[in-house]
Structure 1
C-alpha cells in the first residue's frame, strides 16, 4: 500500500462547479474529481463517468458494503467480489468495458505473437455504454445501470441456498451517496440495492424485517493499477504461500508453459544491504473502529505478532496494525482492513485480498471476523470449568481470558491469509508451530483439576517465520534468489517443520497422519486419550453451577453440548491413522521422504484408542447428569447447536450417544479409507486390513455388555450404527469390489454370532435387518441419526 494513497491529496474533491465543465450535459451536475472524474445528477439519480483514456487498463472490484447477516447464506458486510483488469474501448457510438483474458498470455516483445494469443482465447465485454457526449478526446457515459445491477450475485446466492427467487427492484434502489467518493488513485461508488421475491427459506426469514424485500449495499471500485516495479517471486509447493498462476505461450518449449508465483504485498528495504532496515513502504493494516473492547485490544495484540516474523528477516516495523480512521471506508482500496462482522449465528472468519491479476501483487488485504465466534470459546470454557458460578455470577474472567486468547490467535491467522499464506494443518505436531493451523484449545489435568493456562499458543510460530522469509525476504545484490529461497526451505526441513494444507486435511476420508483440523499433539492417539480424560473429568464436575443464578436449565443443556462432543476433532485425527500415510510436498532433490504408510503398530493403537468412543461406559451421559436437562423452557427453544433426539420434548440421552457413535463410524468406515485398507494389505500382508478393522470393531461393540440397563441400551444403540455402516460398505458402489466382499462376509459372520448368542429382541431385530439387506442390498439406505450440533468453526471456518 503506497503512502501517496494516504496523503492529504487523497481527500475527497467534491463540490459543484469547482472546475470548468467540459461537457454541456453536466453543467448543472455535481462533479467529483479523482482517478476518474464523475458527475451526479440528483434530478434523475444518475452517475456519469468521464473517460479520458481509451485502452488503458485499470482494476475493477465489486463488493458488499452491507450484507444480509446470515452465515448460511454467506452474503456478509465487507465481502469482496472478484477483481478484474478492464479497459474502455470505443466501438461506434459506444464505449465497451472489456475484461481481457489474463489466464493465457504471451510475455514477449513480439506484438504479433502477443496478439495471436489474445485472439485465440475469449475475452469478456462487461458492459456497453452509449457515448452521451464527447469533448476534446474525453467521453461521457452513463454509469448508472452498470452500478445498479446485481454484480455480486445476491439473487443467485439466495436461490442457491434455497431461500427463494429474487430479482432486483430498481424502483427501491438508489445511489448511497455517503460512501460514493473520488480519490486520485481510486474512485468508489456505493449503491443501495433492493431485491424483491418470494421467501422460501428460514435463513432469510430470520435476518430480514420483511423477507420479501431484501436490501443490501453494493460497492464498486475503479482503481489505478500498480506500476511495473513489482518483482514476482517463484512459487514453491513447500513454501506455505498461495500460488498465483497463468499460461505464458511465449515460453521456450523445454520449459513449463504454466507459470506459478507467490501472492504477496510489495515490500522493499530502504537500505537493501543493511542487516536490519525499515521498509520503503511498510505493510499497514487497520482494525475496524467499530470493534468493541476487550476484543479490540486482543485483535491488535494478535495481529501485531506478524512483525516478529518480519523482524526475523531483517525488517524494522515492516508490519503495522492501527485503528481505522473514523472517516475511512473499510472497502477503500487504500486500506488493509480487519473488519468486525456480525451475523445471526456464529460462522467462519476469512481473509481475502484484492490482487493485481497481472502479477499476483496484493493491493488490499481484507479480513472478515465473525463477532459471535468469541462466544463459542467462552461457552467451551464455561462448560469445562468446575462450578464457575457456584459462589458468584460475575465470575466470567477465566472464560473471557481463554476466549480472548483465541481471538488473538484468530487475528494473526486471518491476517496471515491476506499476507499470502495458506493453512498449515500439520503445525500442531510441531509444538503449535503456526498460527495458520486451526487450534483446538489444549488443556491439562493437574491432580484432577483442568488447567486452562496453555489453551492457546501466543506469538508467531516457527513455521510462520519460514513463510514470511520465503515470500518477503529481501536478498542483497549478487545473491542467487533461487538458492536463497531453497536454503530457507531446507533449514525448515532440517528443523523438522512440516507443512500440509487443506486438500489433505479437510476430507473426512483423508489419509495424512498429521493433517487435521482442531487437533493437538504429535501423537494423535495419545492426545485422544488425554482429551477423553479431560472430557470425563469435566462431565463429572458438570452441575447447575455451570450457569448463572436465574438462568433456566435449558441454557445448561446448551452449555453441555460442546463438552459432550469435545472429543469430535481429535477422534477424526486418530481415524486418519487407520489406512493412513505420511507424505510431503516434496520436489526432486530436496531429500524429503515422499510417501510411506503408517506403521501397523500405530494403526492398531489408533483403532484400539478410537474404540473408546464407541463404548457406552465412555460415551454415555452419566445417568445422574440427566436430571439437569428438563424439557425446554418457553422462550428457550432448541437451536442448531442443541442436542437433537427422537423423544419429543424430553432430553434424549440415547440419541446423544447414537450421534456421537455415528460420527466415529463415519470416519473409521469411510469408503475411501476402506479401499485404502485393501491396497495397504495387498502391499504388506503384515499391515492392518479391512477384515481386521471390521473384526476388531464388532468385538469392541457387539461383544461389550453392561450390567447397568441404561448403559446396555446405549451400547445397543451404538451397535445398530455399527451394523448400518457395515451395510453401507457392503453395498457401496464407489469402493473396490473387495470392500463389498469383505463387508458382506463380516455381516454373515455377525449374523451367525447373533443367532448363536442368547436370544433377545434386539438380537432378533439385528438378524432381521441383516436378512433384509442381504435380500435387497440395492434398496439399502443408511437411516440418518439426529444431527450433531454445529462444530466448526469451534471458537474461531474456508471456508475460503
Structure 2
C-alpha cells in the first residue's frame, strides 16, 4: 500500500510543481517583449505567450494584411486594414474570453440600468477563448498562438467568394513572423506568416502565386490602448462632406432622432484656440512608404503636402505634415499614418482607409494604399494622345509630367479620405474646387491638329477642400456656440457657390445630378462631350507607329489604342445624366440651398444630340490606316483583359470595337431609372422630353437612319445591334416602371413594322439580312418575353480607374 501511495505521489508531484509556477518561472529563457500587453516568444515551441493583466478594460483590436496576394481582382493587398473592434478580456474560471461589446446600440444617459437593458437586448461577440496557463494575482498567462494563427483577415473566404478555390490555413507551413512582432507602451503588435493550402485555384490566383496550391501571406494583429477622453466628437452634418460613425441611442428623448452620428476625423487642437493662426498641439503627420521609388516618391510627397494649404485656411500653422517612413518602422504600426505604395499584377483602385474609434469617430490611424500601376496607365494614355515618338526613342517630357501630376492628385485624394472627407464629384463645375473628385486629363487640340497635355491636372488643394477642413477641424474659442458656427461655415460654403455632391448622385447608372460626374472636366457636360470627341478624333487621325517606342512590337499599338478609342466613355457617362436629370443640393430645412429642379428640357435635348454623336458610324469607324499597321499578336505577347476582343480574332476587329462603344452609350440612355424619370417628368410637364421622344430620336439616328454601304455600313449595323439590344433589355426589365414597360413594348411593336418594311424592300443583301435579324429579335421577345435570349455585346476592356468596382464600406474608400 505504501508503495502505491509513493508511486501516486511521484506521478502527482510534477503537476503540483507546475501548478505552483509563476509567470516569470514559466517564461524563463524566453524572449520578453514589454509594452501594452507583455508577451514572450518561445523559440523552442514557436509560440507567443501573452500576459493579460487588464480585465474588463476595453482596448482596440485591429487585424490587417502585412503581405498580400497581389491581385486587384481578389482584393488582398499588402498593408490592407481589416476589422477594427473594441474588445476586452473577461476571466471566467480557467477561460479567458475576448469579448466585443455591441457599440451599435447604446444608452448614453449614464443611467446604469438603462445601459444594462440595452446591453442585454443586443448580442455581443466573443472573438476568442483562451485557456489560462498560469494565474497569478491579477495576471494570467495564456498561449496566444492559436489566436494569432487564425485567418482573422478572412483570406480563405475572400478566395472562395471570388471563385479562386477552397483553402484553409496549413499550420505545418505557418509560423510567427518575428520581424513584424513588437511592443510599445500603448500598442502591442503581432505578425504571422500563414500558408493557405487547397485546391481549385482560379485564374486570378494562379496568375500571382508561384505554386497555386500553397498561398502564403502575412497577417498582422494590433492591440491598441483606447484614446483618452480628451477628444471632442463633432456631430455629423450630411452637408459637410465628411464620413460618419453612427449608433442607436435608446436614451434619446421621444421625438428626437434615435440614430446619433458623428463625423470621422483626427484629433486636432490649436495651442491657442483664441488665435486666428496657431500651431497644433499635436500635428497630423503622414508617412510615405520608404519603398516608393523616384520620381514617384517626390510627387507623392508634394501632392500629399497640399493638405497643409487647407489646414492653413482653418487657422493652423504646419498642422499637416508628410514625411518618409523611418527605415525601422512597420507600416502597420498603429502609431503611424502611412501612405503605402502597393504592387499588383493588374491596375486597380487605390484606397484611403482608417482605424476609427467606433465610440466617437476619432481617427487613430490613416492608411492609404496606392496602386503602383496607375502611373503607368496614365503614361500610356499620354502616349496614345501625343504620338510622341517622332524619332522612335525620345519620349515627350509632357508624358512623364502628366503622369506625375496625376500621382500628386492621387496622393492628395486618398489622404483626404483618411482625413475623414468623402468624394465630391461636383468639383468640375466649381473650377476644380476639390481633389476629392475623379479627374480626367485635360487635353487641348493645337492648330496643327496635334494635342497638348500642358496643365492636364490641377496642382493645388481646392477651395471646397479648404471649406471642408474648416468645418471638420476648426478649433473654436471658448464660449463659441459650435452648432451655430459649424452651420455658418456650411452656409458660407454654399454662398461661395461651392457645390458638394457625393457618390450616389454621380454614378452613371444610378445618378441623376447634372453637375456631379466621375472622370470628366469642364462646367458644361454637353460642350465638353463634343470637345472630347474632337480630341478623340484628332488622336485617332494621327495614330500610328509614333505612338510606341522604336523597339516595341507593332502589335503593342493595340494596347495604346484602347484608351484612345474609348477616350469619350467617361464624358458620355457624365452627359447622359442630364437626360431625366435633377439638379439638387443636400438641403436642410431653413438653410440657403435650393430644392430639386428638373434639368431644363432644352438642355436635355442638347445632351441627347451630343450623345447621338457617340453613335455615329463616322465617329466610331476606326480609320483604316490603323487597321493596316496593327498585326495579330505574336507568340509570347498574349492579349490581356486590357485589349478588345472581337469576331475576327486574332485580327483587330473594328466592327466589334464600334459595337462595344455603342453598347456603352445605349446602355446608359436606356437605363430603367432614367426611363422612369423621363416618363414622369413629361407627365408632370409636357414641355420636358419624355421617354417616347428619346426613343424616337435615338432610333431615327441609328436603326431607322439611311443605310450606308461598305465599311461604314458594317459599322452602322453593329451600332444598330447595340441599340436594339438595350431597347429590348429595357422592355424586358422586370424593374422597369409600368409606364416604361408599356411604352417600350408599344414602341417595339411600331419598330417591328418599320423593320419588316425595310427587310422587304432592301436591295443590299447585308442590310436585308440585318433587318430580318432585328425583326426576329423583336418577334422572339414579343412571343415569349420571359425567355428572351439577346446576343451579348462584345467584351469591353475595363475603364475606371482611368478596372472593376471594388467594395466600399464605412472606412474603406475606393478611389481613383
Q: TM bucket by the smaller chain?
A: over 0.9
Q: Structure 1 residues 487 and 608 mapped into 2: Cα distance closer, same or farther (>3 Å)?
A: same
Counterpart selection for 1:779 from 781, 787, 801: 787
| DSSP 3-state at the match of 1:382 | helix
Q: Which residue of 2 aligns with 1:9?
A: none
1:674 aligns with 2:675: yes
Q: Which residue of 2 aligns with 1:761?
A: 769
Single out whichever of 750-759 and 331-340 deviates more from structure 2.
750-759
Question: 2:551 and 2:267 mapped to 1: Cα distance?
Answer: 55
Question: 1:59 and 1:436 mapped to 2: Cα distance?
Answer: 29
Q: Which residue of 2 aligns with 1:408?
A: 408
Q: Which residue of 2 aligns with 1:147?
A: 148
Q: Following superposition of structure 1 onto structure 2, how do residues 292-311 of structure 1 map, counting pairs within 5 Å?
A: 292-311=293-312
| DSSP 3-state at the match of 1:286 | strand
Q: Which residue of 1 aligns with 2:642?
A: 641
Q: Which residue of 2 aligns with 1:792?
A: 800
Query: Post-superposition shift, 1:797?
Result: 7.0
Gaps in structure 1 of 5+ consecutive residues: 1-19
Q: Which residue of 1 aligns with 2:4?
A: none
Q: Which residue of 1 aligns with 2:337?
A: 336
Question: 1:21 and 1:306 mapped to 2: Cα distance?
Answer: 53
| DSSP 3-state at the match of 1:614 | coil
Query: Post-superposition shift, 1:769?
Result: 2.5
For residues 699-754 of structure 1, the C-alpha deviation after alignment (integer angstroms, 9 at most, x for no partner) is 11124346551011100111112112121122221112221222122222222222
Query: Post-superposition shift, 1:44?
Result: 1.0
Question: 2:208 and 2:49 mapped to 1: Cα distance?
Answer: 35
Query: Post-superposition shift, 1:509?
Result: 3.5
User: Conserved in 2, the CA contact under 8 Å of 1:73 and 1:161?
Assistant: yes
For residues 52-109 of structure 1, the C-alpha deviation after alignment (integer angstroms, 9 at most, x for no partner) is 1210111100000000000000000000011111111111111111101111111123
1:719 aligns with 2:720: yes
Q: Following superposition of structure 1 onto structure 2, how do residues 190-269 of structure 1 map, counting pairs within 5 Å?
A: 190-269=191-270
Query: Post-superposition shift, 1:762?
Result: 2.0
User: Conserved in 1, the CA contact under 8 Å of 2:450 and 2:539?
Assistant: no
| DSSP 3-state at the match of 2:628 | helix
User: Conserved in 2, the CA contact under 8 Å of 1:313 and 1:469?
Assistant: yes
| Moved segments of 4+, more than 6 Å | none
Query: Post-superposition shift, 1:519?
Result: 1.4
Question: 1:628 and 1:225 mapped to 2: Cα distance?
Answer: 64
Question: 1:21 and 1:450 mapped to 2: Cα distance?
Answer: 77
| DSSP 3-state at the match of 2:370 | strand
User: Conserved in 2, the CA contact under 8 Å of 1:64 and 1:77?
Assistant: yes
Aligned residues: 780
Question: 1:675 and 1:428 mapped to 2: Cα distance?
Answer: 27
Q: Following superposition of structure 1 onto structure 2, how do residues 45-444 of structure 1 map, counting pairs within 5 Å?
A: 45-385=46-386, 387-444=387-444
Q: Which residue of 1 aligns with 2:602?
A: 601
Q: Which residue of 2 aligns with 1:572?
A: 573
Single out whichever of 484-493 and 415-424 deviates more from structure 2.
484-493
Question: 1:258 and 1:521 mapped to 2: Cα distance?
Answer: 39
| DSSP 3-state at the match of 1:195 | strand
| DSSP 3-state at the match of 1:695 | helix
For residues 514-544 of structure 1, the C-alpha deviation after alignment (integer angstroms, 9 at most, x for no partner) is 2211111111111000000000001111111
For residues 670-718 of structure 1, the C-alpha deviation after alignment (integer angstroms, 9 at most, x for no partner) is 1111112111111111211111111001111124346551011100111
User: Conserved in 2, the CA contact under 8 Å of 1:382 and 1:399?
Assistant: yes
User: Conserved in 1, the CA contact under 8 Å of 2:508 and 2:574?
Assistant: no
Question: 1:771 and 1:717 mapped to 2: Cα distance?
Answer: 20
Question: 1:507 and 1:49 mapped to 2: Cα distance?
Answer: 51
User: Conserved in 1, the CA contact under 8 Å of 2:645 and 2:794?
Assistant: yes
Q: Which residue of 1 aligns with 2:446?
A: 446
Question: 1:245 and 1:364 mapped to 2: Cα distance?
Answer: 19
Q: Which residue of 2 aligns with 1:7?
A: none
| DSSP 3-state at the match of 2:126 | strand
Single out whichever of 587-596 and 697-706 deviates more from structure 2.
697-706
For residues 186-239 of structure 1, the C-alpha deviation after alignment (integer angstroms, 9 at most, x for no partner) is 110000000000033100000000000000000000011110010001111110
Question: 1:645 and 1:98 mapped to 2: Cα distance?
Answer: 56
For residues 332-381 of structure 1, the C-alpha deviation after alignment (integer angstroms, 9 at most, x for no partner) is 00100000000000000000111111111000000000000001100110
For residues 470-526 of structure 1, the C-alpha deviation after alignment (integer angstroms, 9 at most, x for no partner) is 100011111111111111111110111111111222251321112211111111111
Q: Following superposition of structure 1 onto structure 2, how do residues 656-667 of structure 1 map, counting pairs within 5 Å?
A: 656-667=657-668
Using structure 2 for the length normalisation, give the TM-score. Answer: 0.94
Query: Post-superposition shift, 1:568?
Result: 0.2
Q: Which residue of 2 aligns with 1:15?
A: none
For residues 775-797 of structure 1, the C-alpha deviation after alignment (integer angstroms, 9 at most, x for no partner) is 22222133211121111110997
Query: Post-superposition shift, 1:248?
Result: 1.6
Q: Which residue of 2 aligns with 1:751?
A: 752
| DSSP 3-state at the match of 1:233 | coil
For residues 127-147 of structure 1, the C-alpha deviation after alignment (integer angstroms, 9 at most, x for no partner) is 111111012321111111000
Query: Post-superposition shift, 1:761?
Result: 2.4
Query: Post-superposition shift, 1:22?
Result: 4.1
Single out whichever of 543-552 and 282-291 deviates more from structure 2.
543-552
User: Conserved in 2, the CA contact under 8 Å of 1:509 and 1:667?
Assistant: no
Query: Post-superposition shift, 1:390?
Result: 1.5
Query: Post-superposition shift, 1:645?
Result: 0.6
Using structure 1 for the length normalisation, give the TM-score. Answer: 0.96
Gaps in structure 2 of 5+ consecutive residues: 1-20, 763-767
| DSSP 3-state at the match of 1:628 | coil
Single out whichever of 339-348 and 717-726 deviates more from structure 2.
717-726
| DSSP 3-state at the match of 1:95 | strand
Q: Which residue of 1 aligns with 2:7?
A: none
User: Conserved in 2, the CA contact under 8 Å of 1:69 and 1:344?
Assistant: yes
Q: Which residue of 2 aligns with 1:563?
A: 564
Question: 1:285 and 1:509 mapped to 2: Cα distance?
Answer: 35
Query: Post-superposition shift, 1:274?
Result: 1.0
For residues 393-422 of structure 1, the C-alpha deviation after alignment (integer angstroms, 9 at most, x for no partner) is 132522111000000000000000000000
Query: Post-superposition shift, 1:149?
Result: 0.3
Q: Structure 1 residues 54 and 253 mapped into 2: Cα distance closer, same or farther (>3 Å)?
A: same
Single out whichever of 325-334 and 254-263 deviates more from structure 2.
254-263
The root-mean-square deviation of aligned C-alpha atoms, in Å, is 1.5
User: Conserved in 1, the CA contact under 8 Å of 2:507 and 2:518?
Assistant: yes
Single out whichever of 718-727 and 600-609 deviates more from structure 2.
718-727
| DSSP 3-state at the match of 1:493 | helix
User: Conserved in 1, the CA contact under 8 Å of 2:699 and 2:705?
Assistant: no
Q: Which residue of 2 aligns with 1:4?
A: none
Q: Which residue of 1 aligns with 2:5?
A: none
Single out whichever of 707-716 and 530-539 deviates more from structure 2.
707-716
Query: Post-superposition shift, 1:392?
Result: 4.5
Question: 1:56 and 1:342 mapped to 2: Cα distance?
Answer: 39
